[in-house]
Homo-oligomer: A and B are copies of this chain.
Amino acid sequence: MEISQLGEFGLIDRLTAGLQPINPTTIKGVGDDCAVIRNRDTDILVTTDLLLEGVHFDLTYVPLKHLGYKSAIVNFSDVYAMNGKPKQITVSLGISKRFTVEHIEELFAGIRLACEIYGVDLIGGDTTSSRQGLVISITCIGEAESDKIVSRSGAKDTDLICVSGDLGAAYMGLQLLEREKVASAGQKDFVPQFQGKEYLVERQLKPEARRDIVDELAKAGIVPTSMMDISDGLSSELLHICKQSDAGCRIYEDRIPIDYQTAIMAEELGMNLVTAALNGGEDYELLFTVPLHCHDQIEKLPGIKLIGHITKPSLGCAMITRDGNEIPLKAQGWNPLAADSSSEHTA
């Protein structure tokens, strides 16, 4: 169905049908000049991401439902990275003429699924036509107790550096999808080859935000001294933490968590595996620091890896390789304004 048949308000009615607020702080959602949130106990966190077709996603191989899911998840991830919980989102869409009502319903199905799973209310947005493909702008509101908020600037000398999950898989998933796209060019009935690499594809197309890690740390009574989510690559994010904390760091190559599928794919493509793990973006894992005395506790928590420690700022930021050499860390991740990539700067 053509979107113009429904009109803006018809489309919105369809996309938001059956929406019921699940958070008691959501007082008023879609349908007025503003949404209303009533939250008198905790602080409010605000983050926003702008995703543009042709820059952030390629609809040749990204299904719209996955795109919707991921668009929401990347925002939730920023909230967890402050040790908060996402509670509300607004979704603005710019839609070009080639999209039908069914397309946008698919996209929204993904957004609504992410909201359902993570307990987030969709409270509003803006819908308009676009001359330049699909535009998705999502703002997420979260909440956190004032004394539990974790910023990028609290890392201290001797703190332990930790990451959740594994790194580089989303980047390898992207390489794989791009390779199959090239291979499919001009071919009918092309079947992409993903066998044995399903994890990489999933990491790229359907990432999750690490709510479980935030919950796990809370249960263990650990409040990180600094935290970020890894969207632009470990090196880049660690440099942010060190800069904002006025600190240096040492991480160990042999401690960097890498899935075997990532390793096999790097081998196949002739790429340096550690470079991919350090600089490949979109992992949406958590990078955080904890005081040294948390060492034994952290070691016992599943899905968390100790990869190094914070130092005095004068020592700079470096990785110790397997053969014991020291290599300075560089931000070689996404370069959002020079090439076809992006990165959020805050909020």
A residues sitting closer than 8 Å to B (CB atoms) are 3-4, 6-9, 11-12, 27-41, 43-50, 52-56, 78-79, 81-82, 84, 88, 90, 92-95, 123-133, 135, 137, 139, 141-142, 144, 146, 149, 151-153, 227-229, 244, 335-347
Contact = CB atoms under 8 A, between A and B. Distances in A.
A33 B229 contact: yes
Contact of A33 (B11, B38, B228, B342): B228
Given A55-B94, A94-B52, A336-B8, A46 B345 contact: no
Contacts of A48: 90, 92, 124-126, 137, 139
Given A52-B94, A55-B94, A337-B7, A30 B126 contact: no
Given A46-B90, A151-B32, A132 B131 contact: yes
Given A33-B229, A127-B337, A152-B33, A50 B82 contact: no
Nearest to A137: B137
Contacts of A6: 337
A339 B129 contact: yes
Contact of A337 (B8, B27, B84, B152): B8
B346 A11 contact: no
Contact of A131 (B29, B55, B153): B55
Nearest to A345: B12
Contact of A90 (B4, B12, B79, B347): B347
A53 B29 CA distance: 28
B337 A129 contact: yes
B129 A132 contact: no
A316 to B, nearest CB: 19
Contact of A347 (B9, B123, B244, B346): B123
Contact of A95 (B7, B82, B94, B337): B337
A329 to B, nearest CB: 16
Given A48-B125, A345-B126, A346-B125, A38 B34 contact: no
A32 B151 CA distance: 7
A33 B82 contact: yes
B50 A137 contact: yes
Contact of A94 (B43, B50, B228): B50
24 contacts: A6-B337, A27-B43, A32-B151, A33-B81, A33-B346, A36-B43, A40-B41, A46-B88, A46-B90, A48-B124, A48-B139, A50-B92, A50-B94, A52-B135, A56-B128, A90-B347, A95-B337, A124-B347, A125-B345, A126-B342, A126-B345, A128-B342, A128-B343, A130-B132
Nearest to A39: B44
A52 to B, nearest CB: 5
Contacts of A90: 46, 48, 139, 347
Given A129-B336, A337-B11, A342-B129, A36 B82 contact: yes
Contacts of A11: 337
A124 B92 contact: no
A109 B257 CA distance: 44
